[in-house]
Amino acid sequence: MKHWTQESAKDFAYHLSLDFFTQLENRFEQSELLRKEFAEKLNLTAGRISQIFNSAPANPKVDSLVRYALALGLKVSIVAYDDDDPTNDKGPVYSGVIAKCWESMGKPRDLSLLAPIAFSNQMSESKQEFTNELTAGRKRPQSVQGGLANGDSNKVAGI
């Protein structure tokens, strides 16, 4: 069964827009800003802010998304990812999932926090590969020839 986001890129874009504006509205409700104050920060009318929250723009410009987010003290990141679902049968990962994962990882700003974790996991895998390859009669496993032997944490972290 097809996920509804497979129907068209336009439908998918609308879903992303709706998800984004829902995040903004949730943040707005948590803030002490009045619609009038929010509108002033954006050089928009309070009526336009109501329109945006009541009916998310179907295809907003990225610079508009950034302006709206910054006015609420938020940041924006556009992420393309591979979730082993190339035909999109399962649909996208919702922003809340990504936010919770980021929070549970300690809100890292870059891969420096994640590199030791990835390096540790990679070393465990390399140890097993080394054992398997020695058992198979090979002299030097492939993993020892790559970035791990040189301590390249960016390779380990996948960048």
Q: What is the pLDDT along the chain (159 residues), one digit of tens a residue?
A: 666 666 788 888 888 888 999 999 999 999 988 888 999 999 999 999 989 888 888 889 999 999 999 999 999 998 888 989 888 888 888 888 888 988 988 888 887 767 666 555 555 565 566 556 555 654 444 444 444 444 443 443 444
Q: Which of 27, 143, 13, 26 is nearest to 74 (CA)?
A: 27
Residue 55 lies inside a defined structural domain of this protein: yes
In the DSSP assignment, the letter for residue 6 is G
CB 23 within 8 A of CB 94: no
Residue 20 sits in the same domain as residue 79: yes
Q: Which residue has the tokens 């509804």?
A: 4
The C-alpha atoms of residue 127 and residue 138 are separated, in whole angstroms, by 14
Token pair recorded at residue 132:
């398997």
Same domain, 27 and 78: yes
Question: What pLDDT sits at residue 137?
Answer: 56
pTM for the structure as a whole: 0.64
* Residue 75 amino acid letter: K
Q: Are both 141 and 120 inside the same structural domain?
A: yes
Give yes or no: residues 48 and 125 share one domain: no
Q: Does residue 14 sit in the same domain as residue 92?
A: yes
The confidence score (pLDDT) of residue 132 equals 60
| Structural domain span for residue 149 | 114-156
Contacts of 25 (CB under 8 A, 6+ apart): 53
- The predicted pLDDT at position 105 comes to 87
Identify whether 109 is part of a domain: no
Kindly state whether residues 52 and 89 are assigned to the same domain.
Answer: yes
Statement to judge: residues 92 and 124 lie in one domain = no
Give residue 35's pLDDT: 87
Same domain assignment for residues 47 and 125: no
The CATH number linked to 57 is 1.10.260.40
158, burial (CB in 10 Å: exposed 0-12, middle 13-18, buried 19+): exposed
Tally of domains in the chain: 2
Q: Which two tokens stand for residue 128?
A: 């097993």
Is residue 74 within 8 Å of residue 27, measured between CB atoms? yes
- For residue 88, give the nearest of 19, 33, 14, 6 by alpha carbon: 6
